[in-house]
Structure 1
Amino acid sequence: MTIPDTFQSHAELDEVALRRQINKLIEALCAKDLDGVKRHYTTDVVSFDVEPPLQHVGIAAKLENWARVFLLFETVNYEIRDLTFTVGGDVAFGHAFARLHGTLNNGETTTGMWVRATFGMRKIDHTWLIAHDQASVPFEIHSGRGVVDLEP
């Protein structure tokens, strides 16, 4: 028996679904739609974001971060490059480069900074949700300062 070229494995189908979820999250971010953003995270999400504290636990804390962004920006753009996923059953992890940029409420345009982004995903009721995310910047060891002018 020959498998048709259109056949896709479970892992391939999951990767398509994962990418679709991230794209929908980006759409919600660009629309400044907190309810839309919320739909892409687990209720117990743990986030290691670039802002203090070291970790943000739960969907309320994650949404507070995005609400602060939405208050600062008139228009939000969010870009992801080189997104790669590894899938295993009902869990997956992904990594990419991400950049938040746009127009601030004062009219100033910001190009933002590229960060290293990691996503820990869980499939719950047939839907991939972000259970963990991390955004980070490299730092110079001798000064301890973050390096925010790098590009992928």
Structure 2
Amino acid sequence: MRMFKDFQTDDAELRKQIDKAVEGLRAKDLETLKQLYTTDVVSFDVEPPLQHVGRAAKLENWARVFSLFETVTYEVRDLTFTVGDDVAFGHAFARLSGTLKNGAATSGMWVRVTYGMRKIDGRWLIAHDQVSVPLDIPSGKGVVDLEP
């Protein structure tokens, strides 16, 4: 049975890792982001392909995003974790916004994000993430104007 103190410590460490991801995204810092993912991370993001496998593929995805933005704002709301000894999962709402390279401001869209985390050598790393938007079934289109 896990002690409450251990849970609090792990929960705080998990939140620090997501905070580091937010800071890395805002700074467009691929090196910081690289340190947050397992080497074999699997990412189901909102843009094709269906999955990005491995740290290099995940970072390539972020590099494409950064190439479109002059400035990046990233925010996470309602982050919740369920924590085990060496695995944890979390979910939240997140929004990427900012100023595009052409000078246009974009408010982005709120997405649902799920994190699968693994504790490796005492550090919590992102082993899986999934980003999604609700689907309007009759039209077959994602609903991107909802807010938490």
Pairwise TM-score range, normalised by the shorter structure: over 0.9
Query: Counterparts of 1:39-118 in structure 2 under 5 Å?
Result: 39-118=35-114
Cα distance in structure 2, aligned partners of 1:24 and 1:73 = 19
The runs of 5 or more residues in structure 2 that have no matched partner are none
1:27 to 23, 26, 36: 23
Q: CA deviation at 1:143?
A: 1.2
Cα distance in structure 1, aligned partners of 2:49 and 2:66 = 19
- 3-state SS, counterpart of residue 127 of structure 2: strand
- In the alignment, is residue 12 of structure 1 matched against residue 8 of structure 2? yes
Matched AA of 1:31: A
Q: Which runs of 4+ in 1 moved over 2 A?
A: none
* More strand as a share of residues: 2
Matched AA of 2:88: A
Q: TM-score, normalised by structure 2?
A: 0.97
Q: CA RMSD in A?
A: 1.0
Matching residue of 1:38: 34
Identity %: 73
1:23-56 CA distance string (max 9 Å, x none): 0111011101101011000000000000011111
Query: How many pairs were matched up?
Result: 146
The runs of 5 or more residues in structure 1 that have no matched partner are 1-6
Matching residue of 1:135: 131
2:144 to 128, 131, 148: 148
- 3-state SS, counterpart of residue 148 of structure 1: coil
Matched AA of 1:130: I
Bigger Rg, which one: 1
Cα distance in structure 1, aligned partners of 2:12 and 2:30 = 24
Matched AA of 1:32: K
Cα distance in structure 1, aligned partners of 2:84 and 2:140 = 36
Matching residue of 1:3: none
